[in-house]
Amino acid sequence: MQKKLAYVISLLLIIGGFAYSKSLNYEGQVNSEIMVKGIVEEVTELELSQEQAESMFVENGYLVRVKIKDGSFAGRLVNTKHYEDSNPAYSFKVYPGDEVVLNLEVEDYILKEAYIAGIARDKYLTYLLIAFLLCILIIGAKQGIKTILSLFITGWAVIKILLPAILLGKDPVIITILICAGVTIITHMIITGFTKKSLAAISGTVLGILVGGILAKTVISLSRLSGLTTEESRILFFNLPQGQLDPTGILFAGIVVGSLGAVMDVAMTIASSMTEIYKSNPSLTLKELTKSGLNIGRDIIGTMSNTLILAYVGSALPLLLLFTAYNIPLIKYVNLDIITAEIIRALSGSIGLFLAVPFTAFISALLCRMKHAKVD
């Protein structure tokens, strides 16, 4: 009965999310690019003078013969020039046998020109994804299938609801909180079912994320962050109609979504552990159960907070190295928008994680002590 109820709740939330996603009707900007994959057949080095190389900001040039693999021009052989950029961030070599991404220039259904946009990497990403799914299925068994389903729903909610809603000018704060709450409920209902354990984990997660999110929003407002801390955010802001996007709201959304997984993990660990403790000793009082949950949480938060902080440090490592290399004063880079945003992201996410511990511990203890109800 509890499993059926859990599936019904999940199904209702999914149907509601699907209906809302259909109401968004976001089509996006018109993109006229025609991108296909091709196989490099032959590479011939071009002779470039030093003046040509310097004027074009390139190091070497090549005449590349490529066979188009897909699309309406599949099987067609095209010749294109490819240059190694003097900037290593944009430079890449191609060799015979390489799979590349081609940008086609088509006019009146006639292929005029083809340019190599980059190395085709999706094949290797697919292999890694298959390995990831196999690990879940082999180790998780039946639960692994539920895990994959919950991951699919989470990805779908982000791509089909969160992103279009924000781009259409919906309030990022409200939509993010609703989606995170929905994803949390669906994940726990699918994996654990409608149990006291899942209810405690859901409550602890939502409360922790909510308080951490409110704190992040408050600090973002007080520190007067623009939200335009990255190149991507600036491109969005200046290329979409003015006023359509809320940069600080998007920053908030990133903070909440980025910390959701860690908070869910902590909340479920505590709820699950407390359920087992209570089953082993049902005579424990509310106070004793809560204390046990807090003790478990204290052991977890040390490593989990490190996980969050190190994840953010890892993403900002090149920037931190740049500041260190040029001996930039601490007071200068700590107060930069991009660094302030990362600090708020790391600390508010960790605070949400910390607060999930007492919330989950108390709610779990309360539910376990309720009479006339199953613990599992």
User: What's the pLDDT at 79?
Assistant: 93
Ranges of each domain in the chain = 2-25+142-369, 34-120
User: How far apart are alpha carbons 257 and 39 in whole angstroms?
Assistant: 38
The values of phi and psi at residue 30, to 5°, are -70, 125
pLDDT digits 0-9 by tens, 231-287: 777 777 777 765 577 888 888 888 888 888 888 888 998 998 998 898 888 888 888
**Cα–Cα distances in Å, from 32 out to 20, 26, 239?**
28, 17, 16
Contacts of 141 (CB under 8 A, 6+ apart): none
Q: Do 37 and 70 contact (CB within 8 A), yes or no?
A: yes
Structure-block tokens of residue 60 = 């070497």
pLDDT at 87 over 70: yes
pLDDT bin (cut points 50, 70, 90) of residue 372 is very low
Residue 350 has pLDDT above 50, yes or no: yes
The CATH number given to 34-120 is 2.40.50
